[in-house]
Structure 1
Amino acid sequence: MLNTPITRSLALCLATSVCGVQTALASGFMLPESSTAGIGLTNALVANPEERGAFAYNPAAMGFHDRSSLALGTYFVGPNFSVDTTSGHHDSDGAEWMVVPMIQGAFALDDHWRLGLGVSVPFGLETRWSDGAFPAVSGTRTLGGFSIPLGHPLTSKVEVVDLSPTATYRLSDDLSLSAGIDIYWARQAKLDSTLGTLSGDGHGLGFNLGALYRQGAWSVGAVFHSSATLELEGDFTPKSSVLVGLGRLARGQSAELDLSLPWRLQLGARYAFDERLAVEFDISRTGWSAFNDIKVTGRHADTVIFVDQNDWDDANAYRLGATYRLDDRTRLSVGYTYDETGQGDDHFSARVPDNDRHLFGLGLARSLGNGLSLEAAYMYVRALDRDYRGSRNYRGGDLNGSTALSGEYSMDAHLIGLEVVKVF
């Protein structure tokens, strides 16, 4: 049952869990990594009734564990984004290393019911291209005899924290079901356009459903997270005092943005060859078609300030993970994922320079006794190079899909996860 020290620990972690800066490591701007076990298995963990690291991926897994637990962890991300354009080679100016929290509590109420509470960062991105990286939107242009900076509208930052309370009910020895809500908080949002910068924050709400069935050596699982709309509110600051003086823009105004998060569905099957070796294969489907556009409007005048059209497609990820128990106290894991992008050429965006990518993971878990265990994992992410040439000529307005963003894009990243799990 829940006790006062655990409550204080969880409250402290909630307070400190939003201090990191995020970058996209899966397709689009999604960050599916939610536990150290998941990092080692490249997120192939939806059909696993044995690992407590599976709770964050499929809360229905809590039904197969009789004792309560609290997992506190973090992972460190070292991303590298670069582009080669006509002006040379350019690296994104984001932080070299970033910190992402992972928290999951599971509390056994009786033989059937479990309550869970998780904190994760399922979505995030940060790209900061230096002025000059894309010549068509760098420098200034002349309007009415005045030189106006083009603004280089390719600095973007979004951090989305998910607080997810869930309830799990074990119907039988073989079947467990779960339901919960996803309370999203966009702690920081900063989007540049050719006209100015929007800075703000906001909230949104979604739901999740999970199921896990085990029969002999086989287990199958499924989890669904609904789409959600985050209503961001903040201030829009023009980049050019000249445009303000000419009456083209207000000096500053309150603005809002509805940011659509995609739905997510993950299906998996796991087979335990014996007490030591088990293998799981998952398919994930992400509803990126919900991420239609980025439209910033003035809150009072109700005018459209700028629009980025996205029109992405839904995309799949194929995940394979294996666990091997060396002894009663030590578990090894390995994983591989091929993750498809939903971003086509017609609306390519340098805010999220996405492409298909490979994920490779390794993990180690060690029991320390007295219900305490320590887990560590490493993941390497490598996106396929993308030679983008633009599907239309840029004549101002929406940059996405235009020749202004032509270049050869590269991305890779290193992840190191650490987690402490206490069973009580």
Structure 2
Amino acid sequence: MHSKIAPARAAALIAGVIGTLAAPGGALASGFLLPEASTAGIGTANAMVANPIELGAIPYNAAAMGFHDNSSLALGALMIAPSFSVNTASGNHSGTGATWVAGPMFQAAIKLNQNWRLGLGVTTPFGLETRWGYGTFPALSQSATIPLPPPLGLTTIPTGNHPATTKLEVLDFAPTGAYRVNDNLSLAAGMDIYWAKSAQLDSNLGQMSGDGIGLGFNLGAMYRIQALTLGLTYHSASTVRLGGNFTPLNTTLVMMGQLAQGQPASLNLDLPWRLQVGARYEFTKTFAAEFDWTYTGWSQFRQLVVSGDRTGGIISTETNNWNDASAFRLGLTWQVRPTTQLRCGYAYDQTGQGNGYFSARVPDSDRQTFSIGIAQGLSHGFSIEAGYMYVMGQKRNYAGGVPYSATSGVNGTTALNGQYEMSAHIVGIEALVTF
């Protein structure tokens, strides 16, 4: 730091750069949640928490392992093509990052004996990527000419904190165990080991990148009686501590002592808890339907606390104040042949983000999901599955109630006024084997 006012200016800058972390560039449920955990889930709009039949239900509810008589392995990939845009006073702008974003899907379930199963899953439950070009938000693209001591003279500096690239990918390594109590009931418990393998948070003033680890736990139960199966699963909240480096982009402000120098920086990212309850009914031996309700604890995502090594301890606290939100999912499966299954589904996700702290890094809205899928059994216990999902976000016309000023935060202000739209295509491919 070059002057006594630097910590305050640095706090405002880093808070703006990091902003509200939960941008949904790759996220396909409310907030930055990615519920897609298997190809079977993609094909049924993620209505899988009460399915005792499909191997693809295990990543959604580990208690499903208790109803499978064999060990199994599943390996696949999730591919997402998101589209984000906003119409502001400066025109229509695209906020899309990479054309396609890929994530892993892996699940192992090992039968130890008649009652016990062990599992290990790897999924990407949280993710995002958005990129807004400079000038998208006119109020954040302005500059001012100020006098500096000789020989510098008049200098033009930015007065807004324009969001640029936001990217986050969180992997979940989930070791689990399931115990089949009897023919009707299976219980499960495990850990969620979150690894934020990449985090990038940029604005026109500065950049931050880093990674981090967080821990949580999960519980599951599944009860089956004749044609009806009930399922329940819970994932605890978790905090991922992101550590990395902050790099200022405006050297003039650094020289003036109004901007933090490059330094190690960190923040705590609070991931929400998730409660899922589902009911599945087999109308015939070949046709079944499942309805799930998911409640996500976005109220955990209230603040981002930023720390910098050179500024000494906590330098900024930003409030988000999200609300808990529900999602409703319906999935259908039809066994058209002994080795061929068709799937389809529909889901409605409510956003947890209100207008009070709206962020361009999080142009979130209520969303509808439509999905189809197919599974084909092969020989020697092998099968292959594919699924497709289309996510359609509701248009969000945002008009901030708080005037923007260069000395205040950006979220929830008139600087972000505009009409936001989103959609996404999702494809999943997976190979499975039982043994």
User: Any idea what the Cα deviations from partners look like across 1:76-109, whole Å, max 9, x if unmatched?
Assistant: 1111000000000000140111211111110000
Are 2:411 and 1:408 aligned? no
Q: 1:148-163 to 2 correspondence within 5 Å?
A: 148-149=157-158, 150-163=160-173
Aligned to 1:326, what secondary structure does the other structure show?
strand
Q: Distance in 2 between matches of 1:152 and 1:25?
A: 24
Alignment check: 8 A CA contact 2:96 2:129 kept: no
Task: Write the letter of the residue equivalent to 1:45.
Answer: M
Are 2:156 and 1:147 aligned? yes
Alignment check: 8 A CA contact 2:25 2:84 kept: no
Are 2:127 and 1:117 aligned? no
Are 2:91 and 1:88 aligned? yes
Alignment check: 8 A CA contact 1:131 1:139 kept: no
Are 2:225 and 1:215 aligned? yes
Q: CA deviation at 1:416?
A: 1.0
Aligned to 2:356, what secondary structure does the other structure show?
helix
Q: 1:286-297 to 2 correspondence within 5 Å?
A: 286-297=296-307
Q: Distance in 1 between matches of 2:370 and 2:116?
A: 35
Are 2:346 and 1:336 aligned? yes
Task: Write the letter of the residue equivalent to 1:123.
Answer: F
Match of 1:137 in 2: 140
Q: How many residues are aligned here? A: 404
Q: Distance in 2 between matches of 1:156 and 1:142?
A: 29
Alignment check: 8 A CA contact 2:25 2:82 kept: no
Residue 402 (structure 2) aligned to one of 353, 367, 392: 392
Are 2:52 and 1:65 aligned? no
Aligned to 1:180, what secondary structure does the other structure show?
strand
Are 2:309 and 1:299 aligned? yes
Give me the TM-score of the superposition, normalised by structure 2: 0.90
Q: Distance in 1 between matches of 2:145 and 2:298?
A: 38
Aligned to 1:116, what secondary structure does the other structure show?
strand
Match of 2:247 in 1: 237
Match of 1:258 in 2: 268
Q: CA deviation at 1:193?
A: 4.7
Q: Any gaps of 5 or more consecutive residues in structure 1? A: 1-20
Give me the TM-score of the superposition, normalised by structure 1: 0.93
Residue 170 (structure 1) aligned to one of 156, 180, 185: 180
Q: Distance in 2 between matches of 1:309 and 1:153?
A: 17
Q: CA deviation at 1:236?
A: 1.0
Q: 1:291-370 to 2 correspondence within 5 Å?
A: 291-302=301-312, 304-370=314-380
Q: CA deviation at 1:246?
A: 0.9
State, as a whole percentage, how many aligned pairs show the same letter.
54
What do you get for the CA RMSD once the two structures are aligned?
A: 1.5
Q: Distance in 1 between matches of 2:410 and 2:363?
A: 13
Alignment check: 8 A CA contact 1:39 1:417 kept: yes
Are 2:46 and 1:30 aligned? no
Aligned to 1:38, what secondary structure does the other structure show?
helix
Residue 248 (structure 1) aligned to one of 249, 255, 258: 258
Q: CA deviation at 1:195?
A: 4.3
Q: CA deviation at 1:403?
A: 0.5
Alignment check: 8 A CA contact 1:166 1:179 kept: yes
Match of 1:18 in 2: none
Q: Distance in 1 between matches of 2:221 and 2:211?
A: 33
Distance change >3 Å, CA 351–CA 98, structure 1 → 2: same
Match of 2:131 in 1: 128
Match of 2:50 in 1: 47
Alignment check: 8 A CA contact 2:25 2:97 kept: no
Alignment check: 8 A CA contact 1:22 1:159 kept: no
Higher RCO, Cα 8 Å, sep 6+: 2
Are 2:378 and 1:375 aligned? no
Q: CA deviation at 1:250?
A: 3.5
Alignment check: 8 A CA contact 1:166 1:178 kept: yes
User: Any idea what the Cα deviations from partners look like across 1:133-186, whole Å, max 9, x if unmatched?
Assistant: 000111433344421234522421111011000000000010000000000011
Aligned to 2:337, what secondary structure does the other structure show?
coil
Q: CA deviation at 1:299?
A: 2.8
Q: Distance in 1 between matches of 2:163 and 2:385?
A: 41
Task: Write the letter of the residue equivalent to 1:102.
Answer: M
Match of 1:422 in 2: 433
Alignment check: 8 A CA contact 1:193 1:306 kept: no
